[in-house]
Structure 1
C-alpha cells in the first residue's frame, strides 16, 4: 500500500520513519529545505533506547507522483490549509486520509474538500520534538496510533490500512470508536494547554504552587463538562489517566507551552478556540479555558506584530 506522510516533523517523522524502517512503502511530502536535510543526513530518531537513522523516500509539491492509497496528514493545525492544497494531487478515488491533527474541526474541512468516503479519524499519542538539527527526539511516554472510519462501520480498505500502519516500535490498531478517542485526546490537550500556558509552568510546579492544584482541577472539570455535553464523555479508563496526569508532580508540559516558550506559533484556535466555541454551543460555562484562549490569542497577535515590525 503506497503511503504518503504529509509532514516530517516530530509526529510524522517518528511514525513515518519507523514504518519506513520496517520496510513499509512510505514517502514523505516535505518542503524543499526539509527534503535536502533528509536526503543528506537521513531522518534521525533519538530516544531513551538509542538512536535510529532512516533514509526515507521524499517528494516535494514539484515532484509528486500520486495517487497514493493512504495519506497520513501530520501537520500542525495552522498548516492544514496549505497541506490540503499540496496533497490534493496525490488522491485517488479510493485513497484513505488519516489525519493526526489535534482537535476536531479539521474533520469538517477535510470532508468538505475531499469527501466523506476518503476521510477517517486518527489519534496519535507521542511526546516528541524536533531539535535544531531536525532530529526527532522522544521525550518519554507511550507511543500509540489508532485510526478508523468516522462512522465506526466496516470498510474493505481497513485490512490494508492496518497493515500499512503496523509498526514494531509503537502500538498501532484500528478503532471503531476513533471519534471518541479524538475527543478524549482533545480534552487532555485543552486542559494541559490551558493550565501550562496560563500559569507558564509545568504541571508539577503548578500543583506545588499555592492554589495550583485547585486551579488545574477546575480547568479539567470545565473540559470534561464540554465533552460530556457534546455527547462524547471520556471513558472511565481515560478519565482515570487524565485525572492522574493533571494531578501529577512531574515536569509535564503541553506542546503549546513548549511552542510558546520557544516563540513559535501555537495551535490555540484548534485546541482551545474551537473548544470554547463548542462550550458556548452547549451552554457550558468555561471561564478558565476562555481566559487561556484569550491569553494565547494575545501571544499570537504579539508574534505577528513583531514579525511585521522586523
Structure 2
C-alpha cells in the first residue's frame, strides 16, 4: 500500500489487487499514508479482487506476507499471463523467487526487496515510522534489462528511494541475512531494539544469526562477507531505541507471523546443503509457537 501510494501520488496509474475484505475497507476509507516522509491521501482508487478484471499491467508489485504466497501464486500467474506483466516481489526471504519462477516463468520474475518500517492501523491506513522507504530491484534473467531501465526512469519522481541493482540477488541475501537476525531477536525477546542494545548476550545472539546467514549464502553461491555482517550489525545498533521488526509488530497484535517463510526457509536451505544453523534454529523454535497469532494459554 505504501509504495503503490507513492507511485499514485507521482501521477502513475496504479491499481490495487486485494482480498474482498480489504477491498471493502479501501472503498470505505480510501488510501491514506501517515509518514515521516510526508502524508498522502486518495479516496478514489482503482481496486481489483479478481484476475479476470485486469487487462493491462506492466509490473505486478507483489507485497504479500510469506504465509499468503501460496494463496496468491495462481492469481499472480493468471494476471501475468493475461497482461505479460513482470512480477516484482518485495518479500522477505528467498524461497518465493523459485516458487514464482515455477509458476510464471523465469523471464517474468524480477529481483526485488524493500526497506521500510510500516504497519496498518485499525482503519487500514499506512503508518510509516522510519526514514527508510527504499525499493531495490534488478534483473534475474538476461531478458529483463529493458524493463528494469524503464522502471528506473519511472520511479525517479516518486517520494521514495528506488535503486536498480545488477547484483540484485546479493542484495536480496543481504536483506535476508539482516531481517532473519532483526525479526528473530526482537520477536524472541518481545522488545524493540533499545532493551536489546543493553544486553551483550542478546546482541551476541543477533550477530551469530547474521554470521550463520552469511555462511548459508555462500552455500547458495552468493558470497556475502564478514564485512557485510559487520555492516548489518552496525545498522542494527543504529536504529532508534523504539524501532522493531514487522514480525514483532505482528506478534504484539496477535497476527500470524512469517517465521516459516524467513527462519524456516533458512533451515530448509541449510538442510539441502547438510549444514546446521543452531542459533537460527533456536530462534525459530521459540517463535514458532506464535506462528498462527495469539496463543491461548489455558
Fold similarity call, TM over 0.5: yes
- Could you say which residue in structure 2 is the equivalent of 1:169? 159
What is the rounded CA distance, in whole Å, between the counterparts of 1:146 and 1:158 in structure 2? Answer: 11
Please, which of 17, 22, 38 is the counterpart of residue 29 of structure 1?
17
What is the rounded CA distance, in whole Å, between the counterparts of 2:30 and 2:182 in structure 1? Answer: 33
Q: Residues 215-234 of structure 1: matches in 2 within 5 Å?
A: 215-234=205-224
What is the rounded CA distance, in whole Å, between the counterparts of 2:22 and 2:157 in structure 1? Answer: 24
TM superposition score normalised by structure 2: 0.88
Q: Residues 8-19 of structure 1: matches in 2 within 5 Å?
A: 13-19=1-7
- Could you say which residue in structure 2 is the equivalent of 1:190? 180
Comparing 118-127 with 51-60, which one deviates more in the overlay? 51-60
Task: For residue 294 of structure 1, report the CA deviation from its aligned partner.
Answer: 1.3
- Could you say which residue in structure 1 is the equivalent of 2:288? 297
Please tell me the root mean square deviation across aligned C-alpha atoms, in Å. Answer: 2.5
Please, which of 69, 73, 78 is the counterpart of residue 89 of structure 1?
78
What is the rounded CA distance, in whole Å, between the counterparts of 2:284 and 2:94 in structure 1? Answer: 16
2:29 pairs with 1:41: yes
Comparing 99-108 with 24-33, which one deviates more in the overlay? 24-33
Kept in 2, the 8 Å contact 1:42–1:53? The answer is yes
What is the rounded CA distance, in whole Å, between the counterparts of 2:206 and 2:253 in structure 1? Answer: 23
- Could you say which residue in structure 1 is the equivalent of 2:171? 181
What is the rounded CA distance, in whole Å, between the counterparts of 1:17 and 1:37 in structure 2? Answer: 16
Distance 1:211 1:156, change over 3 A: closer
Comparing 209-218 with 177-186, which one deviates more in the overlay? 209-218
Distance 1:274 1:212, change over 3 A: same
2:149 pairs with 1:159: yes
Task: For residue 27 of structure 1, report the CA deviation from its aligned partner.
Answer: 0.7
TM superposition score normalised by structure 1: 0.85
What is the rounded CA distance, in whole Å, between the counterparts of 2:192 and 2:39 in structure 1? Answer: 27
- Could you say which residue in structure 1 is the equivalent of 2:57? 68
Kept in 1, the 8 Å contact 2:118–2:128? The answer is yes
What is the rounded CA distance, in whole Å, between the counterparts of 2:24 and 2:289 in structure 1? Answer: 35
Please, which of 165, 177, 192 is the counterpart of residue 202 of structure 1?
192
Distance 1:238 1:165, change over 3 A: farther
Kept in 2, the 8 Å contact 1:67–1:89? The answer is no
Kept in 2, the 8 Å contact 1:152–1:176? The answer is no
In structure 2, list runs of 5 or more residues that go unmatched: none
Please, which of 255, 260, 268 is the counterpart of residue 269 of structure 1?
260
Distance 1:126 1:281, change over 3 A: same
Query: What per-residue deviation string (whole Å, max 9, x for no partner) do you get for residues 116-144 of structure 1?
Result: 11111111111110011111111113111
- Number of matched residues? 294
What is the rounded CA distance, in whole Å, between the counterparts of 2:85 and 2:51 in structure 1? Answer: 20
Kept in 1, the 8 Å contact 2:106–2:141? The answer is no
Query: What per-residue deviation string (whole Å, max 9, x for no partner) do you get for residues 228-260 of structure 1?
Result: 333323367754431113345723321111111
Please, which of 283, 286, 291 is the counterpart of residue 277 of structure 2?
286
- Could you say which residue in structure 2 is the equivalent of 1:3? none
What is the rounded CA distance, in whole Å, between the counterparts of 1:88 and 1:135 in structure 2? Answer: 28
